[in-house]
Structure 1
Amino acid sequence: MNNSGTIYGINGPVIYLKGETALKMSEMVHVGDEKLVGEVISLDSQTTTIQVYEETGGLRPGETVESTGAAVSVTLAPGILNNIFDGIERPLEMIAQEGGAFISRGVSVDSLDKTRKWETHLTVKVGDRLTPGTIIAEVPETRAILHKCMVPPDVYGQVVSVVPDGEYTIDETLVVIELRDGSKKELTMTQQWPIRVPRPVHHRYSASVPLVTGQRIIDTMFPIAKGGTAAIPGGFGTGKTMTQHQIAKWSDADIIVYIGCGERGNEMTQVLEEFGELEDPKTGNPLMDRTVLIANTSNMPVAAREASIYTGLTLAEYYRDMGYDVAIMADSTSRWAEALRELSGRLEEMPAEEGFPAYLASRLSAFYERAGMMQTLNGATGSVSIIGAVSPQGGDFSEPVTQNTKRFVRCFWGLDKSLAYARHFPAINWLTSYSEYVGDLSGWFTDNVSPKFVDYRNRLMTLLNQESSLMEIVKLIGGDVLPDDQKLTLEIAKVIRLGFLQQNAFHKDDTCVSLEKQFRMMDVILYLYKVSRKLIAMGMPMSVLKSEGIFERVIAIKYDVPNDNLQLLDMYKKDIDDFYNNVIAKNA
């Protein structure tokens, strides 16, 4: 058997080879005269099936398929950050220099710059025993991130020689080690890793630390843990991408991996332009210094769209192994599932619900299960958090991708088109959303924010649920017939909705809010509720309470109290006490 074959049949991005070959499952191959990139996805004694990551127009039977001898892998080394790749880690900037604005077929460029010299500080010495994950060198990759070059996960040995500190390319030998069998191995900055294989770790921690995003409805109502998973489902125009942008900009993750999977080209262009101009609030450097973008737009081949998710995930795991907290924004997993469906149809597999393949659930599960907070092989702690957008057709959350995603994520931020059309952003519906991390993170909130934090959050949720029940009555018979205590519930719920849950991404003090400010805002709202209930119990009508304008003042806290002057919040309790005294004095 030889390690090449001849094309027998072509069906879109799927090609067939006749007869037995020496190709292996998941092996990367070069297809045809133009050397298109492909991957073996099915093998039997008669036929080999390959999916091609590039446009197959013009390919014909009889052309040769050559093996590369390796699985579809990514190159891991300094130079990943502040870069934009396609779905199989080809840098789009390099492709543009070679072939113009459109990606030409068969284009072959190095994933990372092999000529650039990096300032390198070696961290091992001759005689050291190295185990998988040991850091051998440190490279300032960007102004924000120190790149830690590690021993590959399957290598053990003793250091024989080390180069001095200096400037080196990613392929130059830094360390030579003697393996257990007596042979020598040269270690460089570069590793290759197959995208479909999770990188090994020492062990997984349970969720205990929140990923703080600065978005009140997320951090307070439906928090996500570092190493957690979340889904953002929503119809067209509900703000999935913008919610992910806000999390990417403001969350306390060290590194952002943004995967544009099958999204519109103009949307990806907006991401590229915005991220290039944004200043990192943590460091003052450009946000791109700690960001990597995987751009696989809707007009690119579907097979590469399917691979792009795994490419981004593998890059994230690599930085996690250095001890960083990485957040993945996958936009959108629905387009990824559609790529699976198209390829499954080409392969003539038996379709399941709505034409999706029967293995849709297991693929989604395998993707989200690669998230987590881990102890890495070198003893550091790092995490990969996955936030996946879901784009159900027509906003129907009962479709298979949304339903299967719900099974595997612990955070569900359901976007509501009626909220979006009412300009209420983030348009996360507090009645259909949930987070299973609230209990896991309560200890952290108690220790780092306030022992009352989770209790206040639960009280706000109770009021919002009561409002929902009361609104059913209001729709039937009108609000005037409600007793004053129920009218107060509706008024306080309105304060919570407009003053707390709604957030303005374009306001300097409202776009990102600290947990302390979030807690103190809840404290003021609940204090207003407590004082107002006292007045209602004394027989004061709701119309009198509303005439004082205190509810509007509390709603405006989010704009009126700067993030760097939270002491102003103490004045609001005094205002509420004055409101109480004024009402009693006027109606004595």
Structure 2
Amino acid sequence: MSKAVIQWIGGPVLKARASSPFHVHEALAVGEQRLLGEVIQLSGDTITAQVYEDTTGLRPGDPVEGTGLPLSVALGPGILGHIFDGLLRPLGDVTQHWFKPGLAAKRHGSFEFTPAVKEGDQVKGGQVFGEVAGEGPGRACLVPPNVSGRVVSVVEPGEYAEDATVLVLEDAEGRERKLSMQHDWPVRHPRPSAGRLPADAPMVTGQRILDTLFPVARGGRAALPGGFGTGKTVLQESLAKWCDADIIIYVGCGERGNEMAEVLDEFPELEDPRTGRPLMERTVIIANTSNMPVAAREASIYTAITVAEYFRDQGLAVALMADSTSRWAEALREVSGRLGELPGESGYPAYLASRLADFYERAARVKTLAGGEGSVTVIGAVSPPAGDFSEPVTSHTKRYVRSFWALDRGRAQARFYPAIHPLTSYAEDVDTLARWWQMQGNSEWKAHRRRLLTLLEQQAKLERMARIVGKDALPDEQQMTLLAADLMNEGFLRQSSFSDVDRYCSPKRQTAMLNLMMQFIDQAEEAVSNGISPGKIAQMPILRKLQRLGEEFSEEMVADKAKVATEIGNAFAELEKQEAAHAS
């Protein structure tokens, strides 16, 4: 066991003189209380480490011991349905208002275990060797990716502690390996897979502005930047509840305590719309508030993505919500400053971009070692100061994501939800995902999407002109463009997360709503070309119905879309009839 003695300490960073070798990223036990730390620099016989707990009381001369292993977390069935800190320590194991110093990341629980292998079987890394009883997915027990061998013994079905030995293997060299339902994995090392697969299907979020305009692929990466009060946390909570992922990982990284308290209070009460059971049964929450040790905040992102990869390796689709990577970057900056490193842009360390890449590149759709298919989709919130998207964290993040959902303060203040600005957001997988929409029966999805974005862009230009000359001074065609854009904003892009009818919108319902509104716009433009004024079209009762289509056109009514289409046709026929009678 490597040993050292503290020479200097400043906040979460310390320097110690080593009497035996250490290695970078080795986990440490620091001081008499054995606080958890990690080696981050080596220089001769001096080690530099960051400590993941409050260092109050540490002083020069205190001992530092190396574990010989990298910073790791225990992955197993006991993760699901619980709340942890940034190092995967259960929040239930607290005294008074904080953790016991040096508390190990252990879970105390037992599970009904059923083996899936028998004595004499050959098993390989990533293979399922058993399952535990319980509701929801993610109940498989995996052979660690770096372990393989012949089964020497396996326990009978029954209830066992999560860390109890349930399987004994003999590897190719004749050594015995004892396996429990959980295994350790270093958080900074991506878990291996048999190969990456193309991201050719969307992760359906149930939010029309996302699925229709800016979809994220299953196994893809999305950024959600926005200033204070633009609705990042509310949108991520909606995505967690309604997206079509099997497992939800929610990490609150450096967020304010009151916001995290709301998440911790609300999530356990949410109902899973798939099963009607508690959503927490397939959710893991990692809570690391802004007043927790800054080094643990830096590690929380890696802990979350490691947990996501563990469930991915079980052949599940995982969605990871990180709120927010800006606070994580601030932790990097603080530790970097204490190390005396040369600061880069805005004081962030020069390696900010590569650390962001390390995180986002672990999102993927893969073929698992067991031969199945799993995915991790990452949605990272960014909190740029004053909503400035040119700041380093946002600008670097844009390099590594495929979907960029820019939240707009003006839309948020106008109570427009989701407050995503359609002209500053983008998605790069549209061409690939168009094939999926065709398979769902929407062959015109790509064309409608392009037309909708063009309409919104024209609206932005015309509104600037209307503020100068007045809306009534615009030609009828341009007034009709403004009317059509208002309809799409109010009737299609606006969606209330508090509405029982409209908080989720399936792809079939999105397709039906978009087709109905495009039909209205086509017929309205034809009517304007025939001499009918946009003002009369704006007074049509059918328009007001379309503006409330999200609330009044439920999932059960999708089959009746032809009835609404007929109403639109009849409304324009009546308008043309009235116009002809007036002209005569």
The TM-score normalised by the length of structure 1 is: 0.97
Match of 1:564, SS?
A: helix
Q: Paired residue for 1:134, among 117, 127, 135?
A: 127
1:370 maps to 2:366: no
> Which amino acid is the alignment partner of residue 449 of structure 2?
R
Give the match for residue 63 of structure 1.
62
Q: 1:172: which partner in 2? A: 164
Question: Which residue number corresponds to residue 528 of structure 1?
Answer: 520
User: Is 2:134 aligned against 1:151?
Assistant: no
Q: Which residue of 2 aligns with 1:117?
A: 110
d(CA) in 1 for partners of 2:177 and 2:29?
29
The equivalent residue for 1:278 is 270
CA contact (8 A) 2:501 2:551 kept: yes
- Partner of 1:587, secondary structure, is helix
| Map 1:403-422 → 2, pairs under 5 A | 403-422=395-414
Residue equivalent to 2:423: 431
Amino acid at match of 1:549: P
1:218-297 residue pairs with structure 2 within 5 A? Answer: 218-297=210-289
User: In the aligned structure 1, how far is the partner of 2:329 from the partner of 2:335?
Assistant: 10
- Give the secondary-structure state (helix, strand or coil) at the position aligned to 1:40: strand
Q: Partner amino acid for 2:107?
A: L
Preserved contact between residue 323 and residue 380 of structure 1 (Cα < 8 Å): yes
Q: Using the TM superposition, name which of 448-457 and 245-254 deviates more.
A: 448-457
Q: Deviations over 1:404-432 (max 9, x none)?
A: 00000010000000000000010000000
Question: What residue in structure 2 maps to residue 358 of structure 1?
Answer: 350
**Shift of the alpha carbon at 1:53?**
0.6
The letter for the 1-side match of 2:111 is: W
The aligned residue for residue 36 of structure 2 is: 37
CA contact (8 A) 1:201 1:375 kept: yes
- Structure-2 change in CA distance of 1:215 and 1:131 (3 Å): same
Q: Secondary structure at the match of 1:92?
A: coil
- The CA deviation at 1:110 is 4.3
Are the aligned partners of 2:27 and 2:69 in contact in 1 as well (CA < 8 Å)?
yes
For the Cα contact (< 8 Å) 2:2–2:20, is it kept in 1?
yes
Distance in 2 (alpha carbons) for counterparts of 1:173 and 1:335: 39
Q: Identify the residue that residue 347 of structure 1 maps to in structure 2.
A: 339
For residues 233-265 of structure 1, the C-alpha deviation after alignment (integer angstroms, 9 at most, x for no partner) is: 000000011110010010010001100000011
Q: Give the conservation status (yes or no) of the 8 Å contact 1:261–1:295.
A: yes
Q: 2:185 aligns with which of 184, 188, 193?
A: 193
Range 229-238 or range 142-151, more displaced? 142-151
- Runs (4+) of structure 1 moved beyond 4 Å? none
Matched residue, 2:466: 474
Q: Structure 2: how far apart are the matches of 1:48 and 1:437?
A: 45
For 1:320 and 1:19, locate their aligned partners in 2 and report how far apart those are by CA, in whole Å.
Answer: 39
Task: Choose the corresponding residue for 1:100, options 96, 99, 104.
Answer: 96
Does the residue aligned with 2:156 lie in a helix, a strand or coil? Answer: coil
Amino acid at match of 2:147: V
Give the deviation of 1:69 after TM superposition: 1.8
Structure-1 separation of matches of 2:290 and 2:152: 50
Name the % identity: 48
Structure 1 runs not aligned, ≥5 long? none
The residue type equivalent to 2:98 in the other structure is F
Counterpart amino acid of residue 207 in structure 1: A
Query: How many angstroms apart in 1 are the aligned matches of 2:210 and 2:75?
Result: 33
Q: Give me the whole-angstrom Cα distance separating, in 2, the residues matched to 1:363 and 1:273.
A: 31
The alpha-carbon deviation at position 483 of structure 1 amounts to 1.2
1:330-341 to 2 correspondence within 5 Å? Answer: 330-341=322-333
Verify: 1:555 aligned to 2:554, yes or no: no
- One-letter code aligned to 1:8: Q
Task: Name the CA distance, whole Å, in 2 between partners of 1:155 and 1:75.
Answer: 16
Cα deviation code 1:150-181 (max 9, x no counterpart): 11111221222222222222222222222111
Measured after TM superposition, the shift of residue 11 of structure 1 is 1.2
| Distance (whole Å) between structure 1 residues aligned to residue 75 and residue 539 of structure 2 | 63
Distance 1:406 1:587 in 2: 52
Q: Which amino acid aligns with 2:325?
A: T
> SS of the counterpart of 2:98?
coil
Quote the offset at 1:127 in angstroms. Answer: 2.3
Change (3 A) 1:262 1:146: closer
SS at match of 1:382: strand
User: Is the Cα contact below 8 Å between 2:36 and 2:102 reproduced in 1?
Assistant: no
Deviation of 1:362 (Å): 0.3
What is the Cα deviation at residue 495 of structure 1? Answer: 0.6
From 480, 485, 494, give the equivalent of 2:477: 485
The equivalent of 2:446 in structure 1 is 454
Alpha-carbon distance in 1 for matches of 2:178, 2:39: 30
Deviation at 1:119, TM superposition (A): 1.2
Distance in 2, matches of 1:241 and 1:392, equals: 14
Query: 1:103 offset after TM fit, Å?
Result: 3.0
SS where residue 79 of structure 1 aligns?
Answer: helix
Q: Is the 8 A contact 2:74 2:105 kept in 1?
A: no
Q: Which amino acid aligns with 1:393?
A: P
Alpha-carbon separation, structure 2, partners of 1:367 and 1:227: 13
Which amino acid is 1:344 matched to? Answer: S
Aligned length: 580
| CA deviations over 1:339-363 (Å, ceiling 9, x no partner) | 0000000000000000000000000
The Cα of 1:144 is off from its aligned counterpart by 1.2
How far has the Cα of 1:184 moved from its partner? 2.3
SS in 2 for 1:167: strand
Distance in 2, matches of 1:227 and 1:293, equals: 20
Q: How many angstroms apart in 1 are the aligned matches of 2:287 and 2:545?
A: 44
What's the CA shift for 1:473? 1.5
CA shift at 1:535, angstroms?
0.9
Amino acid at match of 1:538: N
RMSD of equivalent CA atoms = 1.3
Deviation at 1:572, TM superposition (A): 2.0
Amino acid at match of 1:336: W
Q: Which amino acid counterpart does residue 119 of structure 1 have in structure 2?
A: E
Partner of 1:84: 83
Mapped to 2, the partners of 1:89 and 1:544 lie a distance apart of 62
Structure 2 unmatched runs, 5+ = none
Please say if residues 37 and 53 of structure 1, whose CA atoms lie closer than 8 Å, have aligned partners that are also in contact. Answer: yes
Alignment of 1:500-519 (within 5 A): 500-519=492-511
Is 1:14–2:9 an aligned residue pair? no
1:94–1:109 contact (8 Å) kept in structure 2: no
- In structure 1, the partner of 2:26 is 27
Asked whether the 8 Å contact 1:144–1:285 carries over to 2, the reply is no
**TM-score, scaled relative to structure 2:** 0.97
Distance 2:256 2:105 in 1: 26
In 2, Cα distance between equivalents of 1:153 and 1:60: 40
Deviations 1:546-581 (A, max 9, x none): 222332211111111222222343222122112212
